[in-house]
Structure 1
Amino acid sequence: MTATTDQILAAAAANSVPEEPGLSSIAPSLTYSDDSEDQDELRAPEPPRKRRASTRLISQSATDIQRITGESTQQLIDRCCGVSCCMNFQKKKQGIDYEHVPLPDNDAFRSLGLRIEEIPAVLTAIAELPEQFTFLEKPARPQSQTASPADSGISLGNDANTENNGPTSLEHSFRNLELEDLDTSIQPPSFVQPHPPYHVYPAKIHNTRELTRDGAEKRTFHFDLDVTDYPNEDQRDFKVGGAIGVTAPNDAAVVEDVLDLLLIPRYLRDKPVLLRTTKGRWPTVWGKEKARELVTTRRDLLTWCSDLQSYPPTKSLLRVLAEYCYDPNEKKILTFLCSGEGQAVFCDFRTGPHISISQILSAFPSAKPPMDVLLSVFQPLMPRFYSLSNDPHESYEIRDGKQHRIIEIAVTVHETADWRGGRRAGIGSGFFQRQALRFMDLQGSGEKAPQLYIPMFRGLMANPLAKQFVSDGPMLLIGAGVGIAPFRGFVQRRLKNANCANKVWVLQGIRDSLVDELYSGEWGVHEDEVKRVIESRRGEGRYVQEEVLNQADLVWFIINSLDGRVFVCGSSKGMGEGVEEALIKVAMSKGNLEHDEAKKFWELKKEVGQYIAETW
């Protein structure tokens, strides 16, 4: 019989009745909990465990697949594409003629890893050519001023005021079909609008530094952003645990490469052009779905509006390339990838190495579609979100005799192999890394206040980690990697509040404290008493989820205390899943619950806001 909600909570409460801490906390010690590794000096040493990899094998047979997915192998195949392509990869069929097609002889094509031997002479079920809904045209009227490479676009239409909220100068530009006077080297065109009513604001980098050291598997940078003049759009403020949105642009070199591959003349790349769309939100990000006319430039559309590297290629993209491909062999291969017969190769293609737009254009050099046709099949460039790593209500700096308001974030650089050799960073983290390195280079050359910016907007101040907690109940913060960043603001605020003394604890998972412990020594007073660091690549090689089990007494005390809360932040793969299972085991052990009851216990705690997980 399945236990009811009341039964689960009653059973848990019966096994744990925490008391309200007095002047001296009765909470179990973070440092000296049962089974804590700090007790090793009191017992015989154990032989060191073999170092483990960061990933783990979760399936190695059909039975494992069924246990994880709840489906048989055949059901999984049928759900994937309906034609069992994964089981018939490059399998010839009787009665069909095949032909050998010479493959493109270039490094970009070889990097795609396409396993193509022979192609059927007749292809069926070819994807239809996608509808074109973007068109680039010459502006209907002559421009009244000379355009510069820094110009951007404005929206033309009855709702110009609602989408742009621009000053009188923008209204004048609207009437005369001119490019607005906006520096798109530091911020996107005004029609690129995130969550209304927010507009993108170029926040000046006040300072930046690298948090990791040489030898770290991933580099992490810290940024102090000056938001002194951030517009007060909706009477809301930055919050502890909140996140900002960043409209990171594509790398200028990547944009230039795509323009070169599309044979766009250099004199046209920054020249005003009329963009006409027939439907959808693009290129406004979150504007209304409707037809639009915008005066902008080709460079701005690729820099700020089109994602050139984050998504695997789609059949719509390949179909457009095939349509405008003049080499017959390249056309045959692209058409094959869009056909029913090429479904297996296409599936393997999409799940293979990370592929960028410039890579696929280089792989099929004879494919030269018009840019406006390609814009209809490119993925939109979406904002990236980063949690605040400080208490924004208490962070101010004095510079040039003035007080500046500062918000802080930490960004870990995510890299993947590049087909030209070496590695390339993601759009967002790569942009931050370029800005950080450039800032530090300018500082090193003697420039005191480099003028570099991060295009951001105040968004997601109502995310789970940014809720206003008026109580001073105990709090346990569990995170790994850059997921620990938002907890720093919580701890800074808590340690300043006398009523919250001895009521905040942090479990921080890292690989190696010598190279990648973030914000060491920057959590405030008594840091060594509230924070425990768990290293996976040094010593015994422990993971943060293992320490959750070691700190079972503390976890159980906090979650059953009045207004007690447990926060988890970091990657959902590995850390997030492991911590969730560890918390379930804590409830099973301390609450004497079955696995399903323990899982339900944490679900109920999540519903009432006592268990908060922000993973990605």
Structure 2
Amino acid sequence: MTSTDIKIPALIARSTGCAPEEPRTPSIAPSLTYSDESEDQDEQLPLPEPPRRRRASTRLIAQSSADIQRITGESTAELIQRCCGGGCCMKLGGKKKEGIEYERLPQPDNDAFRSLALRIGETPTILTKTIDMPEQTVYFEPVPRVLSRSSPADSAVSLGADGDADATVLAAAAPPSPQTAVSAVKVKDVDTTIQPPSFVQPHPPHHVFAARIDTARELTRPGAEKRTYHFDLDISSYPEEDGVDFKVGGAIGVTAPNDASLVDDVFDALLVPRFLRDKPVLLRTTKGRWPTVWGEDQARELVTTRRDLLTWCSDIQSYPPTKPLLRVLAEFAEDENEKKLLALLCSAEGQGVFCDFRTGPHISLPQLLQAFPSSRPPLDVLLSVLQPLMPRFYSLSNDPHESFKTRDGKVHRLVEVAVTVHETADWRRGQRTGIGSGFFERQAQGFLAAQRRGEKNPEFYIPMFKGLMANPLARQFVSDGPMLLIGAGVGIAPFRGFVQRRLKTANCANKVWVLQGIRDSLVDEIYSGEWGVHEDEVKRVIQSRRGESRYVQEEVRNQADLVWYIANAVDGRIFVCGSSKGMGEGVEEALVDVAMKKGNLERDEARRYWELKTEAGQYIAETW
């Protein structure tokens, strides 16, 4: 037995126990709380606390593509290979061409335009290579009163504003004739105030289900840099689907709507009358999948409302502006200067400005419409160029086979998720939330406010479906073999279900360890005390803003013995979950360092080692 074997105790559970315990005799399995390089060894005298390490400061050194070219020192050809290829780099900083007339365009005097930070100087009076007006693929027509042909099987319906109006839907493979009509309706649809219209179907056999919120609470405390909420969702009535069930480490899909206030901002900017916003309308498309998500690429015809389409079907804040969108705004701008500015962004001469514009902070549709207030395109034309509103996916944070609750004399099955609110700068509100996380936060706040008013069972819903993504965390979960779970922030949430499942059957060959990276345990350690019995023996918290002040990737290096033991154990698995930037990249490099040290490998060999582990399903990284 080596000295290392004597020094390093193991957290291997005794065969008679159901949870990891400290063994009476030494073991080859490393300890989560002790390593040769750990900073908290036993029997050490306390040392003065060193000054807290500060994050590397950042300074604005580049404000345009010209600055990037100057800093990198690359040739134009080299730089173009790594950018959009539009040639904007060749036009930046160039001299004015002789024989071409230039002008300085007056710019809109409003806060929304100033927030775009467009760097526009003198521009040519004649623009070249301006993109063509995009094809209109969406049309609104009045709802006819008579039906001229039968409705196919994939019909869909959307409610009117009164909540109990019905409508039939036609879906055709070719554009309908002018004589096509829709009769008085007899088909009942869903309540679009809590879930999308029925034609927004993720993929057969998955239909959107309005899951009632059973409980909601904020996991983080005041002062946390990011807010994280926990939700228990009641899925007792979820429709049966053959061969598909919720899995440990799996995910659910959520069809989150746009914020109602932003939807109304768009309507207001386009001067859409209020009586039209919720009035049934016949929607006709000529091609594509929209307004469905994964449907066939074909023409469609259905009855819905303008509000339903803008709320559930088109993304109005997640994507950077495209040239087709800007071209539509230019086409319908009544102010000549606004028209020229928008046309510039769609031309060869404005390529550099467009690249800076597109690669900066995401700009919402309401912000664009406020910045160019004279542009009010028809809504159906605008919908033809907007990106579809896609579902968001959230990992389960519990074992879905073990979570039940008795209420009102009935047993309810629950799934649990944790959602961290994503925020970005907003020109008017200071900060705005992401579509999915913002929706979850609004539902949580509404639920908690209702409880404070004394409501016992507030009715708030999350429109969800069983996740379609082959979540690698769920796919690679096995009941045997040691596991190391490495996560930071909300990335730790799916591991909670892993631990719950493992601690029920833990034995000497069936162990689990957790490395949880957080900023400050006082404000943002999620699920503290909720992992099951012997939590302190299986989980180690690494803080970057308090205490030892280090990152989870540093602890991966300190726990090299544990990492190497699990990586080479039979059925051993190492899982990583969290943000790819910073944490994900850092952990990947730390694992390479461990392989180099413990396996005496060169760096390229160490990278190949983890590639082979990935192929074998023993190293699973789920990052975003």
TM-score (norm. length: structure 2) = 0.88
Cα distance in structure 1, aligned partners of 2:74 and 2:245: 47
Preserved CA contact (<8 Å) 1:187 1:201: yes
Q: Take 1:140 and 1:437, find their aligned partners in 2: how far apart are those partners?
A: 42
What is aligned with 1:15?
none
Distance 2:568 2:53 in 1: 35
Distance 1:362 1:263, change over 3 A: same
Counterpart residue number, 1:156: 170
Report if aligned partners of 1:208, 1:221 keep a CA contact under 8 Å in 2.
yes
Greater CA drift, 371-380 or 229-238: 229-238
List per-residue Cα deviations over 1:500-530 (Å, max 9, x = no partner). 6771000000000000000000000000000
Q: Which amino acid aligns with 1:482?
A: V
Q: Does 1:237 align with 2:250?
A: no
**Structure-2 change in CA distance of 1:361 and 1:26 (3 Å):** same
Q: Which residue of 2 aligns with 1:168?
A: none
CA distance in 2, matches of 1:308, 1:283: 14
The answer to whether 1:85 aligns with 2:88 is yes
Q: Does 1:394 align with 2:407?
A: no
Alpha-carbon distance change, 497 to 152 in structure 1, aligned in 2, over 3 angstroms: farther
| Match of residue 454 from structure 2 | 446
Alpha carbons 2:367, 2:427 under 8 Å: kept: yes
Write the letter of the residue equivalent to 2:585.
Answer: E
Q: Which amino acid is 2:340 matched to?
A: K
Q: Secondary structure at the match of 2:507?
A: helix
Q: Mapping of 1:288-307 within 5 angstroms?
A: 288-307=296-315
Secondary structure of the corresponding residue to residue 77 of structure 1: helix
* 2:423 is the alignment partner of 1:415: yes
- Using the size of structure 1 for normalisation, the TM-score is 0.89
| Separation (CA, whole Å) in 1 of partners of 2:47 and 2:167 | 68
> In structure 2, do the counterparts of structure 1 residues 613 and 72 end up closer, same or farther at CA, with 3 Å as the change threshold?
farther
TM-aligned CA deviation for residue 242 of structure 1 = 0.2
SS of 1:568's partner is strand
Is the Cα contact below 8 Å between 2:87 and 2:351 reproduced in 1?
Answer: no
Offset, 1:357? 0.2
In 2, are the aligned partners of 1:271 and 1:297 still within 8 Å (CA)? Answer: yes
Q: For residues 40 and 545 of structure 1, what CA distance do their matches in structure 2 show? A: 22
CA contact (8 A) 1:134 1:376 kept: yes
Query: Distance in 2 between the 1:71 and 1:32 partners?
Result: 48
Contact kept in structure 1, 2:480 and 2:509, CA below 8 Å: no
Write the distance in 1 (CA, Å) between the matches of 2:353 and 2:477: 52
Which residue pairs with 1:606 in the alignment?
A: 614
- Structure 1 residues 221 and 332: alpha-carbon distance in aligned structure 2, compared to 1, 3 A threshold: same
Match in the other structure for 2:151:
none
Q: CA deviation at 1:50?
A: 4.8
- The SS at the match of 1:424 is strand
In the alignment, is residue 316 of structure 1 matched against residue 324 of structure 2? Answer: yes
Q: Which moved more, 1:23-32 or 1:582-591?
A: 23-32
The answer for the alignment partner of 2:38 in structure 1 is 36
Counterpart AA for 1:254: L
Give the equivalent residue in structure 2 for 1:195.
203
Q: Determine if contact 2:13/2:506 at 8 Å carries over to the other structure.
A: no
- Change beyond 3 A, Cα 1:308–1:597: same
Q: Is the 8 A contact 1:239 1:461 kept in 2?
A: no
Q: Is the 8 A contact 1:238 1:461 kept in 2?
A: no
What SS class does the counterpart of residue 256 from structure 1 fall into? helix
Equivalent residues of 1:475, 1:504 under 8 A apart: yes
Q: Is 1:76 the equivalent of 2:90?
A: no
- Contact 2:167 2:185 (8 Å CA) reproduced: no
Distance (whole Å) between structure 2 residues aligned to residue 596 and residue 451 of structure 1 = 55
Q: 2:177 matched to which residue of 1?
A: none
Query: Structure 1 pair 500/427, CA: closer, same or farther in 2 (3 Å)?
Result: farther
Partner of 1:559: 567
Query: Can you give the 5+ residue segments of structure 1 that lack an aligned partner in the other structure?
Result: 1-17, 160-172
Structure 2 residue runs without a partner (length 5+): 1-9, 16-22, 63-67, 148-156, 174-180
Query: Are 2:169 and 2:302, in contact at CA under 8 Å, matched by a contact in 1?
Result: yes
Question: In the superposition, relative to structure 1, how do residues 26 and 145 fare at CA in structure 2: closer, same or farther (>3 Å)?
Answer: closer
Residues 456/517 of structure 1: CA separation in 2 closer, same or farther (3 Å cut): same
What is the aligned partner in structure 2 of residue 167 from structure 1? none
Match of 2:335 among 303, 327, 346: 327
Q: In structure 1, what is the Cα distance between the partners aligned to 2:168 and 2:622?
A: 36
Q: In 1, distance between residues paired with 2:86 and 2:570?
A: 55
Separation in 2, partners of 1:188, 1:356:
22
Q: State yes or no: 1:506 paired with 2:514.
A: yes
- How many residues are treated as equivalent by the alignment? 579
**For the structure 1 residues 350 and 256, does the alpha-carbon distance in structure 2 shift closer, same or farther, using more than 3 Å as the test?**
same
1:94 corresponds to which of 76, 90, 97: 97
Q: What is the DSSP-based 3-state SS (H/G/I as helix, E as strand, rest coil) of the residue aligned with 2:140?
A: strand
Taking the aligned partners of 1:595 and 1:145, their CA distance within structure 2 comes to 58
Residues 153, 297 of structure 1: 8 Å contact kept: no
- Aligned match of 2:263 in 252, 255, 261? 255
Structure number with greater CO (CA < 8 Å, separation at least 6) is 1
CA deviation profile, 1:290-343 (whole Å, cap 9, x unmatched):
111011000000000010100110000000000011110100100011110000
Cross-structure match for 1:456: 464
Distance apart, 1:178 and its partner CA: 6.5
- 1:535 — aligned with what? 543
Task: Provide the C-alpha distance between the structure 1 equivalents of 2:399 and 2:57, rounded to a whole number of angstroms.
Answer: 34
Q: Which moved more, 1:394-403 or 1:176-185?
A: 176-185
Alignment map for 1:465-484 (pairs within 5 Å): 465-467=473-475, 469-484=477-492
* Alignment partner of 2:554 out of 546, 549, 552: 546
8 Å CA contact 1:153, 1:190 repeated in 2:
no
Q: How far did residue 174 of structure 1 move?
A: 7.7
| Cα-to-partner distance string for 1:565-610 (whole Å, 9 max, x where unaligned) | 0000000000000000000110000011110111000000000100
Distance in structure 2 (CA, Å) of the matches to 1:116 and 1:135? 35
- Which stretch has the larger CA shift, 139-148 or 344-353? 139-148
Q: 1:396 to 1:581 in 2, by over 3 A?
A: same
For the residue of structure 2 that corresponds to 1:360, the secondary structure is helix
